[in-house]
Amino acid sequence: MEGRADVFKALMSRYDLWNLFLCAVLLLTGLAISSLAAWQVSTNDQRLWQLQSVTNAELLSAELRFRILANREPLIAIASLYSGSDDVTQSELVAAHELIIETTDKQIAHSVAFVTSQNGDYLAEQAHGQLALLPTRASSPLDMQLRAAVDAARMTPGAVVIHAPIRKDGDSYLPMVLTASNGDTGGVLMLLLDFSRLLSIVMSDVLNGHTTVNIYHPLTPGVNHANLPPLSTEAENRHTVRVPVGLDIWQLEWLFDADQEPDIDISQAYLVLFGGMLISLLLSLVFYTLLQQRAVVNQQISERTEELRQTQHQLLQKEKLAALGQLVSGVTQGLDRPINQIRETVTELEQRLAGDSKTGSALTALDQNVRRVMVILNGFQRIASDQSTEQRRSFNLLEAIEELAETLAPGLRTNKLKLQLDVPGNILLDSYPGALYQVLSALIGNALVHAYPPGHKTEGILSLSAELQRQSVSLRFTDDGVGIPADMHNRIFEPFFTTQAAAGSGLGLHIAYTRVVDLLGGSICLIPSETGSCFEIILPLSAPMRADGH
């Protein structure tokens, strides 16, 4: 049984390791799925941010183009003044320009001038405004950076030309030019727009450190006319927009920094990750619990199966004993009288042939064999004895054992044996004391015959101890004799099994076994011992009720 228990424990230990491995795989799988889902959420947020960035870039580029084109209106209005008058004076230009400022967007400053060519040079005959590049008074030379814009207007007469922005003292200015005549004098009307201010108005909602733009004109491809603060870190997204402004295609390179973007919320990704980890952990715990419960159920099934097997074995033994009892009853009833007659005849012949030594020896051997047959038949009769003759009562275990010890004391002393008792005085049984006497007598008798060799000189020690348990009592009977060979442990309770056929019938331990199991409702087994033999008997404090109610 211990070997089976060890094997079962080893299997259960391996089963537990397998369960833990399965739970670990489930947990790691859940963590991997959670990480993948969190990465997907984060990626989706990133893609959404990129799409939103591109959309903003397109919208802002369109707004910038619209505002640039809208600022052509002051230039066209002033041109209508020159085309509707024979001679426009400086004061009339100033008055018209101030009226335009009052009626248009005052956020963006602009200056105007009427430019003519004299002796290969450009002169602002009339001018008004505060911007740096254009003169603030009439008849002043034109700044060299504005000459290219005037040349562009003269090449496309009658069309509003939006020239490349010009940098001056860290700011950008956008010249718009249109050919016009003041009386008989031909020239070019120029509107100089504060482009830096215009750009800051357009970018006011996104100038927060995470968005910027670089503006390039085809005439000055290496010059960034935006003059906006750079990003604090490397841009995660770029988008280029080509915008038609006048006759040229401007290139707007938008840069976006996700690290500074307040709209990107990674809390959802963390929520998905930690939520998935928690769910994976809970599922793993539930799965492990189910596996453990399954293991417990399998263990209970194994235990119940073993109990059923033992019960079936006990029922089979009872059926065998019942059949044996019927057989013994018939045999003993048929042989009892003939054997008695044989003994009487042997006795009579011994008396008649007392002088014949040879015949007397034969009759003596015959008488011993007849006695042997009677011993065997008596054993049969004890096996087949009707259990209804047993008397059930409550008794003190110590007192019952002491009575048995007094009865067996002479025989023990004769065989140089000593019985030591270690039985508490508070153990009460509701059972069959006669059957208990028979069991203990069989154990002591077995020790007398088999544990000690004939003529042993040292005193043998027999011990009988008892220990009270919850609903039962454990009895242990030991001797310090020669012991029982290991290959015979599984057969000692079989009927007629004996190692000394001349000294016993082989029924003593079998009778003890059947009494303990069938009548007293307990169990008896041989416990391995280094010296001698040790039998353990487990008896319930209250014996089971028999079929007759006793």
pLDDT tens for the 550 residues of the chain, in order:
444 455 445 545 665 777 777 777 777 887 778 777 767 766 777 778 788 888 888 998 998 899 888 888 888 888 888 887 778 888 888 888 888 888 876 678 888 999 998 887 888 888 888 888 887 777 788 888 889 899 998 898 888 999 999 888 888 899 999 999 988 888 999 999 888 888 888 887 766 667 888 999 998 888 888 878 888 788 888 899 999 998 889 999 988 887 755 555 566 666 766 777 778 777 777 777 777 777 788 888 888 888 888 777 666 755 665 565 566 667 766 777 787 778 778 777 777 776 666 676 777 777 777 776 776 666 555 545 544 346 788 999 999 899 888 878 888 888 888 899 999 999 999 998 888 988 998 888 888 888 787 766 678 889 999 999 989 999 999 998 888 877 777 777 777 766 665 455 567 788 888 889 888 899 999 888 888 889 999 999 998 887 665 6
CATH of 71-198, one of 3.40.50.300, 3.30.450.20, 3.30.2320.50, 3.20.20.70: 3.30.450.20
Q: What is the DSSP code string of 224-275?
A: ----PPPPSS--SEEEEEEEEETTEEEEEEEEE-STT-TT--THHHHHHHHH
d(CA 522, CA 237): 86
Q: What is the pLDDT of residue 304?
A: 85
238 strand-pairing partners: 255
Query: Residue 520 in contact with residue 430, Cβ under 8 Å?
Result: no
Query: Residue 212 in contact with residue 230, Cβ under 8 Å?
Result: yes
- Residue 507: name the closest of 387, 386, 404, 383 by CA: 383
Which phi and psi angles does 346 have, rounded to 5°?
A: -60, -40
Report the half-sphere exposure of 121 (CA within 13 A, side-chain side). Answer: 10
Same-fold call for 71-198 versus 391-550: no
- Residue 66: name the closest of 113, 105, 10, 21 by CA: 105
Across 439-509, the runs of DSSP E, i.e. the strands, are 460-468, 472-479
Tokens 């029922």 belong to 315
Domain ranges in the chain are: 71-198, 391-550
Query: Residue 112 in contact with residue 142, Cβ under 8 Å?
Result: no
Helices vs strands, H then E, count in the chain: 10, 17
d(CA 300, CA 302): 5
DSSP H or E stretch at residue 175: strand 171-182
d(CA 88, CA 93): 7
Identify the burial level of 194 via C-beta atoms within 10 angstroms of its C-beta, where 0-12 means exposed, 13-18 middle and 19 or more buried: buried
Query: Residue 416 in contact with residue 456, Cβ under 8 Å?
Result: yes
Three-class DSSP category at 342: helix
Tokens 């209970």 belong to 300
Q: What is the pLDDT of residue 329?
A: 64
Query: Residue 193 in contact with residue 110, Cβ under 8 Å?
Result: yes
In this structure, what token pair is assigned to residue 188? Answer: 């070019």
Q: What is the pLDDT of residue 412?
A: 85
In this structure, what token pair is assigned to residue 376? Answer: 């065997």
Task: Give me the count of residues in the chain.
Answer: 550
Helix, strand, coil percentages for the chain (3-state, nearest 5): 50, 20, 25
Query: Residue 496 in contact with residue 376, Cβ under 8 Å?
Result: no
Please name the amino acid found at residue 34: S
Does the domain at 391-550 match CATH 3.40.50.300? Answer given as no
